Amino acid sequence: MGVGQKIKMLRKSKGLTQSDLAKKLDVVSTAVSAWERDANKPMLDKLTIMADLFDVPISYFFDTEALPLNVIPVQPNFIKIPILGTIACGDPILAEENHDGYRYELADTLPKGNLFYLKAKGDSMEPTVPNGSYVLIREQPEVEYGEIAAVLVNGDTEMTLKRVKKQGDTILLMPDNPEHEPYIITEENPAHIIGKAVRYTQDL
């Protein structure tokens, strides 16, 4: 089942018209129509809103086999996990709307939960997360102090990978590279945590 079919099925399950869903997503109804026909793909920020609206994990939209968890058996003890695009480890960049292939992992080495990979770009998290590495993300709305998270910023239109810290009532997205400045979260400058960074891998 493709992304468009899933959006259509979820929309109808809530008794919504294409116009109703378009209003909730702040897009024109023709955009929803194009998504459902797989003539176009929604951006990640719109998928995030739909995941909340329909109470499904965001990884559901990228699970081609429609399994309850976003992992697909390929042979005994192995699964494949989707790569959802490139994440900024410097200045935030526009989030890619589609997955970009898969990575194969031993099932018993993975944490429980909905998982996906993001590719790091930039040096702001070095030496902890090298530029070009694949970062395994476990989908969750919050992380503990000092943990690294994948975060939507700039009106949920861009992604960045940063360490989450607090100073008083202020939440900071901190780079590990001291040459980069922290990203300060405020009411006027909100952010949305997608998930926790579990580990990274690199291709030689």
- For the question of residue 124 being annotated catalytic, the response is yes
Going by the DSSP 8-state scheme, the letter that residue 168 receives in this structure is T
Q: CA-CA distance, 152 to 16, in Å (whole number)? A: 26
Distances (CA, A) of 200 to 129, 137, 203: 7, 9, 10
Residue with tokens 């702001």: 124
DSSP string, 135-154: EEEEE-S---TT-EEEEEET
Q: Which of 6, 46, 162, 196 is catalytic?
A: 162
Among the listed residues 124, 133, 166, 196, the single catalytic one is: 124
Residues annotated as part of the active site: 124, 162
